[in-house]
């Protein structure tokens, strides 16, 4: 009798775990349906044509990675993140605050449940800000912050003031 109760308890636990797996799988999560296919993003933005030579590093520590940050066709991409992990260019959004332009861009990894959200400013030929890399596992979420700073590459299109 005791053995059958143990078997029933284990069976019930397995059913609960399997049910949780299906309920919390990426296919069942509504945020997955909000993904934008960057192949469908087109257009132009005020930062288009600008390329920055930048350095990246963990927030609060010295930068240790060289990168190129590129704005083109209404999208933003870190060539280093694209090369290392396959993160595609994503749409960027801006707002002007005085002479400075603030931007935000999000890109999702095509192979994993991971994303990078870039937040920064462009002002007088320089770019700087913070990006957050997040990857979701079924058992926990990893989130890390990095800083970036760079200068406009010679020959890249500068912002022309409308004043």
pLDDT in tens, 113-152: 899 999 999 999 999 999 999 999 888 999 999 999 999 9
Taking the chain (163 residues) in runs of 10, the rounded mean pLDDT of each run is 56 46 37 38 78 96 95 95 91 93 94 93 96 92 96 74 45
Domain boundaries, the chain: 1-34, 37-152
Considering the domain delimited by 37-152, tell me its CATH architecture.
Beta Barrel (2.40)
* Cα–Cα dist 57/162, whole Å: 34
| Per-residue pLDDT, 13 | 47
| Per-residue pLDDT, 87 | 92
- Rounded to 5°, the CA angle 99-119-51 comes to 70
| Per-residue pLDDT, 71 | 96
């Amino acid at each position: 009798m005791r053995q059958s109760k143990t078997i029933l308890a284990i069976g019930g636990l397995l059913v609960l775990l399997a049910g949780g797996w299906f309920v919390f799988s990426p296919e069942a999560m509504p945020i997955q349906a909000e993904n934008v296919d960057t192949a469908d993003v087109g257009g132009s933005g005020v930062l288009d044509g600008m390329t920055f030579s930048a350095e990246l590093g963990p927030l609060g520590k010295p930068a240790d990675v060289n990168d190129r940050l590129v704005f083109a066709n209404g999208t933003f991409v870190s060539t280093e993140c694209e090369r290392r992990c396959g993160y595609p260019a994503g749409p960027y959004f801006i707002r002007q605050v005085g002479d400075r332009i603030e931007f935000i861009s999000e890109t999702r990894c095509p192979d994993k449940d991971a994303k990078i959200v870039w937040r920064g400013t462009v002002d007088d030929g320089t770019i700087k800000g913070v990006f957050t890399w997040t990857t979701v596992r079924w058992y926990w979420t990893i989130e890390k912050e990095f800083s970036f700073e760079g200068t406009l590459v010679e020959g890249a299109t500068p912002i022309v003031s409308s004043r």
